[in-house]
Structure 1
Amino acid sequence: MVDEQQKMQILADLVAIKSVNGHELKVAEYLEKLLTRYGIQAEILPLGNDRANLVATLGEGKPVLGIGGHMDVVDVEPAGWKTDPFVMTQAGDNLYGRGVNDMKDGLAAIVIAMIEIKQSGVPLPGTLKFLASAGEEVGQVGAQALTKAGYVDDLDALLICEPTGYRIISANKGTLNLTVKSHGKAAHSSMPKLGNNAATHLLNILQRMQATFDDVAGAVVNPEMGGTLYNVDVLQAGNQVNAIPGLATAQINLRTIPELPNDQLIAAFQKTVDDYNATTNGDIELIAANDVISTQGNRDSDLIKLIQQIGNPYAANQDLSAEERAYEQQLMKLLDMPYAADEILAMSASGTMDASSYLIDHPVGFNYAAFGPGNDTQHQDNEYTSKRQYLEFIAIYKKLFVQYLQVAAKKQVVED
């Protein structure tokens, strides 16, 4: 078996690789070398420049459990860090470093669990398929490439090992970014009739778009995820107070649900823009981007039941202080998520992950869950994870990977 010192070294090695989005190749090379050393089939799939995906398999045939993790991390501002962000540093139970929480602890836990399963010689009645992607933090380019190439076509279940801690995320809202451009004509503020105020038109169309959203989405609610979220986050217009602006822009972020798909929202907003342009002297342009679908797994799936069965004893033994429990309870309340200190609950989240690309053809009802070591410090300065939890997740994954295939294989025999 892989001893604790090796487990810590593997995680430290991954943190040391500066795989800021766009530079994932060295992580893929490290994982490929590590896995093949232990006799596990692994393949690097280049994406050009300094990018690559990696796919590794253990076992053969059906059923197939897909295990997803991403190799990229977000960029750093070193001035905000108390330690070198690319040197894993331990303080008590906390391990600090960029990506140590999101999600190199998850990557390491997956790989070590697969290695120890291989070493144990336990027969697998199916296949473990590890999908290590590039570019999850921006655009999901790696997951999209894996999906396009057919690597998810044979999956019977999908486990995404993002940092959830002792929680299961079984549903994720989609995301949609809209850029609204108001094209006008610049002029001196003392002679406004010589221009066409882009800012005024932008404010007008934003009011109409808000009304459209309220009308289309206000009463549509998903029982697990709630309603669609709509936020105007960026406004830009003009550069001095005595000049009529010729261009004004707004950026809007939506978090979407299966009952109101992104394309329906885009169509509704485009009609509002078209009507405005046809009835005023405004010239509004609507641009949609970062169009990511929502996903909603089956909460009654064997995968989720097994995670709870195997993981609950670990969750109950966390030994959290009263202060830590109070903080987590308050945080979950702010996020409108349920909280339990000693059991693993399944819930939804507004954030997106690679599952949106992997489940593009099965967005609702698939045997899917996100469950991985970590906490809510991802993307922050001084990001950290728990050493204890990291080691516990290795043990959980070893049991989960094998037991899921055993349960799924028995079901397939009965169905056949």
Structure 2
Amino acid sequence: MDTAVADRVLARVDRDALVDLASRGYQVELQEVEPDRLQAIATLPGAGGGPRLMFNGHTDINSLARGWTRDPFTPWVEGDRLYGHGVQNMKGGLATMIQAAEAIRQAGVRLRGDLVLACVVGETQGGEGTHHLLERGHRTDMAVLTEPYGLGHLVTLHGGILHLAIHTYGVTGHISQIEKTVSAVLKMTDVVQALQQVRFTFRPHAELPALPRLNVGSIIGGRGERYVLVEPPYVPDLCTIIVDVHFLPGQTVEGIVLDLRRRLDALRDADPTLRYEIEIPPPAFFKGRRRLVMEPVDVPRDSPIVQAVARHHQAVTGRPPAVIGALLPMSYSAGDSSWLWKAGIPCLHYGPAGGFLETGPGGSYILISEMEACAKVLALTALDVCGIAA
């Protein structure tokens, strides 16, 4: 790489810049993922002949935690910390990737390949936004996701996520004739206990030793398909739990369901009054549910994009990456890389952090110094991967 060009780009990394991409030569597309739910895809067009690179970040944020001592929707700076709701996961990463692209543009450098900035929605619903943009042709040769895992952590390995509903069915009736009823809630208590004894079929992974794992995240029971809750004299005939399964590379949804059925069928053999059903995805009644299955990610560490980020991380920070592979406990979960990797796009998570997904009392913050350093690494990576036009 031409070091003079690289220096010119790095000098343009401005932590205070506010950018309007549409007016600065980017091709901007607003995609309607759902009615009135938009995401922005901005492309810095290349001259042609080079690989296409995507920087990907999600605009949806975690729910607001308690304990804020100031207005969480008015950001403020204390030393190296930028505070505000959602700044860490992951408004800071979004700003960082935009700043990297702006540094290249403002330096007057023309890339050979396109640089795509994907500001997507729906990461917490299973990567709906990234899935949507891929379905509409926004495919690149490589990608970097600026999740807040902290500089020095090149995360190439993640488990998968499956959300499913399990329903139990009963026979309703008044408490005065309870002997003629079957309580769906009581049957579900047996199901929940049985789920703790499920033996999954899998091949262990040394970097993800605690997977697979299962959590019963919520439960509701009542009468009828709307779970009527205001009739306590009546026995509930429907109960539903939402189950979160985090699983390993090599496991499949079909295999996981078979493992669950094996245990629940054994329970039903011992109790013929048990009637259950597994539903994937959970029904629309449960808003905010993860509607898409996120497959595991295991990108080879010698992939060109991984090596490029590692190389430029060391150039900017003076230190080699602390992690290339899994970062625990974050790698026990998943992100938008699931869809990129499934589409055949080598990718990794590399982004600025404050306190590893901190959402507790005092508020969420991100380190400004990490944002600045990350923007420089991303800019150099884009120059390297996309190539510089003559």
Q: Same-fold call, TM > 0.5?
A: yes
> Whole-Å Cα distance in 2 between the matches of residues 401 and 295 of structure 1?
22
TM-score by length of 2: 0.79
**Structure 2: runs of 5+ lacking an equivalent:** 1-8, 223-228, 282-289
Give 2:357's aligned residue. 377
Asked if residue 246 in structure 1 is aligned to residue 254 in structure 2, the reply is no
SS across alignment from 2:156? strand
Give 1:285's aligned residue. 277
Alignment of 1:260-279 (within 5 A): 260-270=251-261, 273=264
* Aligned with 1:255 (options 246, 250, 275): 246
Amino acid at match of 2:146: C
SS across alignment from 2:280? strand
| Contact 1:136-1:353 within 8 A present in 2 as well | yes
Shift of 1:274: 5.8
> Whole-Å Cα distance in 1 between the matches of residues 308 and 131 of structure 2?
28
* Aligned with 2:339 (options 332, 357, 368): 357
Shift of 1:163: 0.9
Shift of 1:140: 2.4
Amino acid at match of 2:325: M
Shift of 1:2: 9.6
Asked if residue 389 in structure 1 is aligned to residue 370 in structure 2, the reply is yes
Amino acid at match of 1:282: L
Cα deviation, 1:372-408, whole Å, max 9, x if unaligned, reads 111323555611001111111122211121123349x
* Aligned with 1:221 (options 197, 204, 217): 204
> Whole-Å Cα distance in 1 between the matches of residues 135 and 72 of structure 2?
34
Shift of 1:186: 3.9
Give 1:195's aligned residue. 181
State the identity %.
21
Shift of 1:71: 2.1
Counterparts in 2 of 1:299 and 1:3: CA distance versus 1, 3 Å: closer
> Whole-Å Cα distance in 2 between the matches of residues 274 and 241 of structure 1?
30
> Whole-Å Cα distance in 1 between the matches of residues 371 and 268 of structure 2?
55
| Contact 1:234-1:251 within 8 A present in 2 as well | yes
Bigger shift: residues 43-52 or 183-192: 183-192
Shift of 1:285: 2.0
Give 1:338's aligned residue. none
> Whole-Å Cα distance in 2 between the matches of residues 390 and 398 of structure 1?
12
> Whole-Å Cα distance in 2 between the matches of residues 143 and 383 of structure 1?
25
SS across alignment from 2:97? helix
> Whole-Å Cα distance in 1 between the matches of residues 45 and 148 of structure 2?
23
Asked if residue 7 in structure 1 is aligned to residue 15 in structure 2, the reply is yes
* Aligned with 1:309 (options 308, 311, 328): 311
Shift of 1:94: 0.8
Shift of 1:258: 2.1
Aligned length in residues: 353
> Whole-Å Cα distance in 1 between the matches of residues 176 and 318 of structure 2?
70
Amino acid at match of 1:56: T
Cα deviation, 1:167-210, whole Å, max 9, x if unaligned, reads 11111211112222211124566865311132342233344444
| Contact 2:296-2:338 within 8 A present in 1 as well | yes
Shift of 1:130: 1.8
TM-score by length of 1: 0.74
Asked if residue 156 in structure 1 is aligned to residue 155 in structure 2, the reply is no
Amino acid at match of 2:350: F
| Contact 1:72-1:137 within 8 A present in 2 as well | yes
Higher relative CO (Cα under 8 Å, sequence separation at least 6) belongs to 2
| Contact 1:165-1:374 within 8 A present in 2 as well | yes
Give 1:73's aligned residue. 61
> Whole-Å Cα distance in 1 between the matches of residues 194 and 174 of structure 2?
28
Amino acid at match of 2:208: M
Counterparts in 2 of 1:53 and 1:5: CA distance versus 1, 3 Å: closer
SS across alignment from 1:113? helix
**RMSD between aligned alpha carbons?**
3.2
* Aligned with 1:86 (options 46, 50, 73): 73
Shift of 1:49: 1.2
SS across alignment from 2:16? helix
Amino acid at match of 1:253: D
Alignment of 1:329-368 (within 5 A): 343-348=321-326, 349-362=331-344, 367-368=346-347
> Whole-Å Cα distance in 1 between the matches of residues 164 and 118 of structure 2?
30
Give 1:230's aligned residue. 214
| Contact 2:13-2:376 within 8 A present in 1 as well | no
SS across alignment from 1:176? strand
> Whole-Å Cα distance in 2 between the matches of residues 249 and 282 of structure 1?
14
Give 1:182's aligned residue. 168
Give 1:13's aligned residue. none
Bigger shift: residues 394-403 or 45-54: 45-54
Shift of 1:127: 2.4
Amino acid at match of 2:53: L
Amino acid at match of 1:368: C
> Whole-Å Cα distance in 2 between the matches of residues 43 and 192 of structure 1?
60
